[in-house]
Copies of this chain bind each other. A is one copy, B any other.
Amino acid sequence: MPSTASPVSPPAPVIRVLPAPADLPEPLPEPAVRDLRLETVLGALSDPLRLRIVRKLLLESEHFDHSCGWFGLDRPKSSLTHHFKALREAGVTRQRQYGLERRSHVRVADLDARFPGLVELVAAWEPAED
């Protein structure tokens, strides 16, 4: 980071702009909680790759959003965009733009409110082996 312009000593009391809860980027368009539809959510979760994404978010990230690359999915970028968009538009995940990265997390509270037990189901899922 460039200095604020302090020629001499410890400069101005620079406010450290961490990604604090207050000034997160706006979430991308998503359905409101009351518009969540069970059939749509189940449809979004009926794909193994998307199930894997959501489960990984649930199990391996409590507090952070994660960009596409974090998942280590071996698919072309446009495929990933497709699936992340499907999850977001169904209301399963929320996405925010951090600079270039678009990070996702699961809307756990919203899903719990509307479909109690669903999140646990996904977290407990075990992918087909082979």
Contacts and interface: CB of A to CB of B under 8 A. Distances in A.
Contacts of A101: none
A25 interface: no
A42 B46 contact: yes
A45 interface: yes
A116 interface: yes
A111 B122 CA distance: 14
Contacts of A47: 39
A115 to B, nearest CB: 6
Instruction: Report the interface size class on chain A.
Output: 20 to 34
Contact of A117 (B45, B118, B128): B118
Interface in A42-87: 42-43, 45-48, 51
A120 B116 CA distance: 9
A118 B117 CA distance: 7
A42 B39 contact: no
Choose among A38, A47, A115, A116 the residue with the greatest number of B CB atoms under 10 Å from its CB: A38
